Structure 1
């Protein structure tokens, strides 16, 4: 077989077996990885300090940086929102949805959820240890912190958890409107949690951006692997 024909046949074989949706997801995963690496490099080189400082102080009272913008109830609301990205809440929600999927007979989806969230937590912890970035010191922290700053664990794990759960649950919905609603709700929740971390002064903005991209990329990668495995299993049963 000539090399040109071999290449053409190989490309045709690839296109016939891969969906456009899969290509889009692959591109999104690659994009998330590229953005995360770019942010990490800038952070390690100290190039993001002005951006981080400006945005962090923009959410503070110009007269008293120790005071977040807005009334006292807004700061309390931010604490409530940020709690939704804590390890305790995320674990409880993950186990609850995993149990629901198991009882509904969606065992493969349940294992995808557990694997995605569990491995995501390990990855988040390793990243924090590797980068070892100090927490913001410009303003008082709105809540107690225990780990290093980069990437934001709340932002990353809320993205991994809520996006994975949303995709798995969306597949069970009968209409496109419901599927869109579930995924949009998860995205809104992830964004709100990330913003709350900066508002409370416990993370630099680039911590949150990196957490979002790493979490979204990991959730998409896990979904892609699960989807590919499911497709392969269906083809083997034919």
Structure 2
């Protein structure tokens, strides 16, 4: 007779379990993300990325009218909506809703872990912003309100942390492999679109967004590694 713990292990095959069986790969990915941020930060501080940043920002503006992004007005409004998916209010609501659900289904440790992981990641990015203190783009008009420093992009980093971490947690309890792949694709695409929207709106240099993705991915992978170490191997709970 199959015991209950054994049943819970049956059919578990996912990228999460693959990482679980190969922790060195996950550590390598963390190192790559951290190294990418370090190299990019050094290049930005040295001014080596200025030409690329300016070229891409200007390429997304109408010739002769730097206050107007390329494309029709409805597209610009759509981009603002996408950008809002990485804003503080939307991400906070997502975390609160998921944490509340985890608490209601008797998973208080997971709920607490999610809240602490996201809060600490957001604080880390805020400290990086304060430390680098890079000004916002000044060669094009801003398409939405901003008030903090530019590097790294908070929308890019925080959306990567929240959506990737939620995607990893959701994929782990999903039995269908195609569904797991779909979840990862959706979460990744959301993160990418939010970051690109910030450049289109002229509120971030492109390298701000690249750095934000690196920080967010690194933190999400680190949190995922910690979560796997805290959870029994091979279970979906």
Question: TM-score, normalization: structure 1?
Answer: 0.87
Return the alpha-carbon distance in structure 2 between the equivalents of residues 229 and 179 of structure 1. 21
Matches within 5 A, 1:73-222: 73-222=74-223
Return the alpha-carbon distance in structure 1 between the equivalents of residues 110 and 187 of structure 2. 17
Alpha carbons of structure 1 residues 30 and 149: separation in structure 2 relative to 1, 3 Å: same
DSSP 3-state at the match of 2:61: coil
Between 1 and 2, higher relative CO (CA 8 Å, sep ≥ 6) is seen in: 2
Deviation, 1:229, is 1.9
Q: Deviations over 1:94-151 (max 9, x none)?
A: 1101112222333333233112101011101101100000000010000110100000
Matches within 5 A, 1:41-60: 41-60=42-61
Unaligned runs of 5+ in 1: 1-17
Return the alpha-carbon distance in structure 2 between the equivalents of residues 28 and 57 of structure 1. 33
Return the alpha-carbon distance in structure 2 between the equivalents of residues 105 and 178 of structure 1. 24
Return the alpha-carbon distance in structure 2 between the equivalents of residues 182 and 110 of structure 1. 20
Return the alpha-carbon distance in structure 2 between the equivalents of residues 54 and 197 of structure 1. 15
Alpha carbons of structure 1 residues 130 and 155: separation in structure 2 relative to 1, 3 Å: same
Alpha carbons of structure 1 residues 205 and 73: separation in structure 2 relative to 1, 3 Å: same
Return the alpha-carbon distance in structure 1 between the equivalents of residues 23 and 105 of structure 2. 26
Q: Which residue of the partner structure matches residue 7 of structure 1?
A: none
DSSP 3-state at the match of 1:66: strand
What's the RMSD between the two structures over aligned residues? 1.5
Return structure 1 stretches of 4+ with deviation > 4 angstroms.
none
Whether the 8 Å CA contact 1:112–1:223 is kept in 2: the answer is no
Whether the 8 Å CA contact 1:109–1:168 is kept in 2: the answer is no
Higher Rg: 1
Q: Which residue of the partner structure matches residue 10 of structure 1?
A: none
Q: Which residue of the partner structure matches residue 24 of structure 1?
A: 25
Question: TM-score, normalization: structure 2?
Answer: 0.87
Q: Which moved more, 1:35-44 or 1:166-175?
A: 166-175
